[in-house]
Chains A and B, each alone.
Chain A
Amino acid sequence: SQTIHQWPATLVQPVGSPLSLECTVEGTSNPNLYWYRQAAGRGLQLLFYSVGIGQISSEVPQNLSASRPQDRQFILSSKKLLLSDSGFYLCAWRGTGGLNYGYTFGSGTRLTVV
């Protein structure tokens, strides 16, 4: 079965520090991968998605970047964090084509920028 691993679970970082969140997927190949962010009490905002190695699409101009160095690895990064980067970050994968598939989400990373 497919599993998705995301770490760390919580992170407190000072403003201006770098960020690296990692996500790996097991049990599937060539998945579509996604990074979403959720503000408190709100829905999910799509940040980046990737349909293959090295292919990254950015949805929202921001202080963040994403990379996909391997088929089942997706990384979210920042060179200098802002207070507004605080939130709940979720990695997800989805079967291609969307037929009968919803997203499988990781357990999330709670990021607090102080």
Chain B
Amino acid sequence: SQKIEQNSEALNIQEGKTATLTCNYTNYSPAYLQWYRQDPGRGPVFLLLIRENEKEKRKERLKVTFDTTLKQSLFHITASQPADSATYLCALDIDTNAGKSTFGDGTTLTVKP
């Protein structure tokens, strides 16, 4: 079965710096890879989806890369702000027809002013 590892349980950075979060998977490359933001006590919020034939996708200050050779996705937040502090989840499609995904445990990002 597909296993996902997200880097370190917590990441602390200074405001204005770029945060880089890692998502590694073990088996086949998924057709789609997703990133979500989750605030405490809330449901995850969808941020970006990248397809296996896409190397990079951007949305405002967010950038996602997808390297099927390394079996890795990187999630970058540039010019980070304290409001970016949250847990970020990576998810991989495991059944495209059913829309099923498997999720990593998340990385908690804290941006300090």
- Mutual binders A and B: yes
Chain A residues with a Cβ under 8 A of chain B? 6, 32, 34, 36, 41-46, 49, 51, 57, 59, 90, 92, 94-98, 100-108, 110
State the total of A-B contacts with C-beta under 8 angstroms: 73
Q: Which of B100, B104, B106 contacts A49 (CB 8 A)?
A: B100
Judged by a CB distance under 8 angstroms, whether B101 is at the interface is yes
Looking at B12-20, B40-48, B69-77, the stretch in contact with chain A turns out to be B40-48
Q: Are A110 and B101 in contact (CB under 8 A)?
A: no
A49 touches B99 (CB 8 A): yes
Give the residue of A46, A59, A90, A101 whose beta carbon is less than 8 angstroms from that of B43. Answer: A90
Q: In the complex the two chains form, what is the Cα distance from A90 to B89 in whole Å? A: 14
Please report whether the interface of chain B is mostly helix, strand, loop or mixed according to DSSP. strand
CB contact between A108 and one of B9, B43, B49 (< 8 Å): that residue: B43
Bound-state CA distance A59–B49 (Å) is 23
Is B105 in contact with A57, judged by CB distance below 8 angstroms? no
Evaluate contact between B43 and A106: CB separation under 8 angstroms. yes
Q: Is the CB of A44 within 8 A of B41?
A: no
Number of interface residues of B (CB under 8 A): 29
Q: Which residue of A lies closest to B44 (CB)?
A: A105
CB contacts (< 8 Å) of B34 on chain A: these are 102-103
Q: Is B7 an interface residue (CB 8 A)?
A: no
A42 touches B46 (CB 8 A): no
Cβ–Cβ contact A102 & B43, under 8 A? no
Out of B4, B49, B101, which one reaches A46, CB within 8 Å? Answer: B101
Chain B residues with CB under 8 Å of A100's CB are: 49
| B26 interface residue per 8 A CB criterion | no
Which residue of A has the minimal Cβ distance to B50? A100
